[in-house]
Chain A
Amino acid sequence: MIDVQAASSPVPVVNPDSPALRFGAIAVGVACVVGLPFLVSSYHTAQFSQVVIYAIALLGLNLLTGYNGQISLGHGAFFAIGGYATAILTVKLGIGYGPAIVIGGILCFVAGFAFGLPALRLGGLYLALATFALALATPQLLKFKAFDDWTGGVQGLLLKKPQAPLHLPLTRDQWLYFLCVFCAGLLFWAATNLINSRIGRAMIAIRDHPIAAEAMGIDTALYKTTTFGVSAAYTGIAGGLASLVVGFVSPDSFDLFLSLSLVVGIVVGGLASIWGVVVGALFIEFVPNYADSISDVLGENAKALPWAIYGILLILLMYAAPTGAAGTARSLARGIAHLRRGSTNVSLDRRATGGDQTG
């Protein structure tokens, strides 16, 4: 099984012994999120919508990989199902985009549940392999001729970006941004509750010790397949939102790199961390762009290099912080706690940190 770090219960983001600080931080955060689309261009608004979308998809994947210990390298497939479901329902069947996204999510739950059944028998690397195959096969399946009437084949489908309802004074991009933020808020709230509930503890128990979990009466198979379904549904909803924000779906936008980016996102953000996925989402949306601008400095013919720089960054990051942003934050917090306790018990402290490093 995978070797997820032991921290199972979510660590409070802000030091709880100062509620004022906590309240202030939340207020500033909300103000930033709400004010953002009014301060930046519509291009950047769409970019931030994409960040929010990635955060939702990453949250879904993290429920599966971080909390339940099942590696998926193929979540781009569920992103694609969600995206295509929304596109087909709105363009071909004339259903409103709201219900379309929900239906897309439900479809993905079913698809995820179905894929979760064979996944039950696969541990660790084998599951990674099977899902890697899924990621590689997705674009080809989407191009399949028999579905052309529905999927638009290689050309894909064009969607109309929805207008803000109730004559709200918002541009289409701004409205979509708020729609994404609203969905993300709901889904993050649901995920936090899920993780802190009996179900969440069962999921974590299955990750940490499947046999013990089974012995305690947890229906491992049901939990694992359901987690796969929920995870796929999150990713599918993200895919549906993405198809609206981009205004376009085509087989090539759901290639291997999308699936790999999602995995990169959760590992960079930190496994088994709800808020780490935001860091991961920012990383996979912006770092390729920065890599782009770095390679611009190197000259005209360095067009293909951004991805190489991205790859190098990834490897360096795994070397420096294999537990991702959340894991690093956790160990920093532990370090600070150590400092606070003072240096009276130096030898004990040293033994404790030594234990942490090998763990």
Chain B
Amino acid sequence: MLGLVHQVLSGLAIGSIYACVALAVVMIYQATHLVNFAQGEMATFSTYIAWALIEAGVPYWAAFFLTVGFSFLMGMAIERLLIRRFDKAPVLAVVIVFIGMLVIFNSLTGWLFSYTIKSFASPFPEKFALGNGYMSPHELGSVGVTLAVLAVVYAFFRFTPLGLAMRAAAQNPVSARLVGIRVGYMLAIGWGLAAAIGAVAGMMAAPIVYLDPNMMSGVLLYGFAGALLGGIDNPWGAAMGGFIVGVLENIAGAYLVGEEIKLSVALAIIIGVLVAKPSGLFGRVLVTRV
């Protein structure tokens, strides 16, 4: 029983990372109805930036926020300079552009920082006053960071004029434009937010999975699974989905299929959710008019 509790809690910890990735995926999906397959690679790149800053002697939390800021600008720049040009292209062409970005970021990270596996510092202390033995300080810390991210994102969308404008632009671009919202910029900010949230996920994941250019591919898959499970049009549902997927993955890894093929758990969840409940647990059911 204690073992199960332990698995659930560390599942919640890893799930917090998936929740961030899922949130990042949903950010872009809500605004553009596209799923960014390069999200994981972008997050890895950001994490390497943080690593380089820390190596250069910048204190951890300064590096953390610098990286988040940098990632935000990077995401915006990608939308403004690249994705915007494809807003009328067929879906598959856009998918190819994402694949191109995935490949570019992957090899750029490999080129700049080499493919050797690096360790990444955790900002949280080794021992913890509140430590209860069930969760390591880093696990507890990443859950905390994710909850903070969720709170910030919620406050942003709920209480700021910019957040309101972004929701309007996502829900009804035409009317939003009529009342003077610059829809294009809102999309760019959505991309920036997604990249920033992805960077947080990367920095929380790196101490666990170690830093290498491919570290986020599995995490991204779980993020997708979480987003689908929670409902891809609902940010809070997606974050919840991320936590649930983390717990499921850990329990399945420990008791059902073993550590080696845990990725297939994500595959099974994705297909299962899409078949049984395509709108996800908390998503809106879409009705198509014939």
Contact = CB atoms under 8 A, between A and B. Distances in A.
Interface string A292-305: 00000000011111
A128 B95 contact: yes
Consensus secondary structure, chain A interface: helix
Interface in A63-115: 65, 71, 73
Given A129-B224, A144-B261, A310 B103 contact: yes
A141 B106 CA distance: 23
A260 to B, nearest CB: 5
Interface in B80-114: 82, 85-86, 89-93, 95-97, 99-104, 106-108, 110-111
Please tell me the size bucket of the interface on A: 35 or more
Interface stretch (B61-69, B126-134, B262-270): B262-270
Nearest to A305: B111
Interface stretch (B29-37, B51-59, B169-177, B201-209): B29-37
A303 B109 CA distance: 12
Contact of A303 (B111, B221, B275, B278): B111
B218 interface: yes
B164 interface: no
B278 A4 contact: no
B261 A308 contact: no
Contacts of A145: 258, 260
A305 B34 CA distance: 27
B96 A263 contact: yes
A304 B107 contact: yes
A308 B274 contact: no
B260 A263 contact: no
B290 interface: yes
Please tell me the size bucket of the interface on B: 35 or more
B115 interface: yes
A25 interface: no
A152 interface: no
B225 interface: yes
A308 B103 contact: yes
A71 B91 CA distance: 10
Contact of A140 (B90, B95, B108, B260): B260
A312 B106 CA distance: 12
Contacts of A308: 103-104, 107-108, 111
A64 B26 CA distance: 28
A121 B224 CA distance: 18
B228 A129 contact: yes
Contacts of A71: 91-92, 95
Contact of B106 (A65, A121, A133, A307): A307
A306 B93 contact: no
A322 B93 contact: yes
B122 interface: no
Instruction: Name, among B85, B228, B267, the residue most crowded by chain A CB atoms within 10 Å (CB to CB).
Output: B267
A323 B107 CA distance: 26
Instruction: Name, among B34, B37, B89, B96, the residue most crowded by chain A CB atoms within 10 Å (CB to CB).
Output: B96
A141 B224 contact: no
Interface string A263-293: 1100100010000000000000000000000
9 contacts: A129-B274, A133-B224, A260-B102, A304-B111, A306-B107, A308-B111, A310-B100, A312-B104, A315-B96
Interface of A: 2-5, 65, 71, 73, 118, 121-122, 124-126, 128-130, 132-134, 136-137, 140-141, 143-145, 211, 256-257, 260, 263-264, 267, 271, 301-308, 310-315, 318-319, 322-323
The 6 A-B residue pairs whose C-beta atoms are closest, nearest first, are A311-B104, A311-B103, A307-B107, A304-B110, A314-B100, A304-B111
